[in-house]
Amino acid sequence: MSEKLAIHGGAPILARSDYQNWPIIGADERRLINEVLDSGIVAGGTAPQVSALEREWAQYIGSKHCLTTTSGTAALHMALAAVGVGPGDEVITSAFTFLASASCALHQNAIPVFVDIDPRTYNMDPARLEAAINERTKAIIPVHIQGLPADMDPIMEIARKHNLWVIEDACQAHGAEYKGRKVGSIGDVGTFSLNNFKNLCGGEGGLFTTDDETLLKKGMLIRCFGDEVDEVSHRRIYNASILGYMYRNQELPAALARAQLLHLDEYNAIRIANANYLTQELSKIPGVIPPYCPPECKHVYFMYNVRFDPQAAGVECDPRRFRIAVEKALYKEGVLVGQWQTMPVPAQDLFQSKLGYGGSRYPWAVNEAKGIVYDYNPAQFPVAQMLCDTYTIVHGIHAPNGKPLMDKILAAFHKVFAHLDQALAHADDPVYPGADGKLYGAG
């Protein structure tokens, strides 16, 4: 074929106008936001929209209790504080995730410990978990990465064996299911994000879920400065009994999230249909590895993660360079692709330097003083590193996008993989793949 790739001077297949943005703002969003404006109540830990969202989310996932928070990061921090994680404790999480899955431990003066990932699901590999546990371990944070549930049964079994808390990082997995149970209802605490990118969007915000009333009460204290509430008047005493924070959400984000919840299953079904169609078709292209979903899981595809394999494509090339070349060529065809995490979390400077608070090396210094050494050498996480070298995110699978856009994306993949020589010739071009903020409601 003589057709030229767009990166080689040809015409692109897609335009930005082929993509429709997220989130969808409809009549329910306007109705509930107008309720806030008409009520004159815009904030408060027990305000109408906040309270309603807490009830509705707990019911949706099958949990007894829910607290709204300012962010998923706040929910993670609240969870660690509620279960009593403190200085010198260790918290185990996945090597491939967002920083907050680990930095929440630092905020409690605890120390993150990382476990490598499963090469098919990209979630924490349960087979590697027990080797990371020692007498300092206090909690495990499995991450339901990009909308796919972690393998919770073996994780819970190991946690119970060692008397450890389990905090589900479900910030990317609203509505995902593991063996018929919604994520966030399986561990001791579930945590969710409501930022503009997420399947359940409140603009910003988070959710903390639990079946444990003691953890609920601790979470309430942590969320509001540690202030006690008088049992008779139900008013704040302004007497902080523990160290707390200002992690309350507000009425406008809560109202937006409530409206989005009304359509969550419908919008998730569109993501799943788009993802399944792409997976079916992309798997026919040698060198393209679509995401995998175990049969016992419901994947809600917050992100659609594709890997590239030069050997399978019949190309002699370093895998990382091959991914870069293909990614740039797809982007020039108009496909919104690009990496999310570019390295395993332990490879980030924060963990390589271990400078900690004010350059003091705390919290690591707590245990270093006892002769304990923390080594975050990225070579310990080869699967996470392999993933970061070879994957890209294909944007646009969210509603209201559908098959017409998926077909154009597929056409671009076929075009690029039919002309890999052209793509590789431009691997060093100054092209910077990624999606613009407006695609996900960001300015």
* Positions marked active-site: 198
Q: Which of 149, 219, 184, 178 is nearest to 63 (CA)?
A: 184
| Angle, helix 403-417 to helix 264-282, in steps of 10 degrees | 30
Q: By three-state DSSP, how is residue 132 classified?
A: helix
Place of tokens 């002309």: 419
Phi and psi dihedrals of 298, rounded to 5? -110, 110
| Angle, helix 264-282 to helix 251-261, in steps of 10 degrees | 60
Place of tokens 């996008």: 401
Q: Which residues contact 335 (CB under 8 A, 6 or more apart)?
A: 13, 14, 394, 409, 412, 413
Burial 385-397 (b: 16+ CB within 10 A, else e): bbbbbbbbbbbbb
Distance CA 137, CA 93 (A): 11
Distance CA 354, CA 362 (A): 8
CB atoms inside a 10 Å sphere around CB 17: 7
- The two beta strands, 189-193 and 206-210, are antiparallel
DSSP annotation of 98 reads: -
Contact predicate 277/408, CB 8 Å: no
- The two beta strands, 165-169 and 181-182, are unpaired
Question: At residue 62, what is the residue type?
Answer: G
Instruction: Determine the Cα angle at 334 with ends 329 and 338, to 5°.
Output: 65
CB atoms inside a 10 Å sphere around CB 216: 18
Contact predicate 364/98, CB 8 Å: no
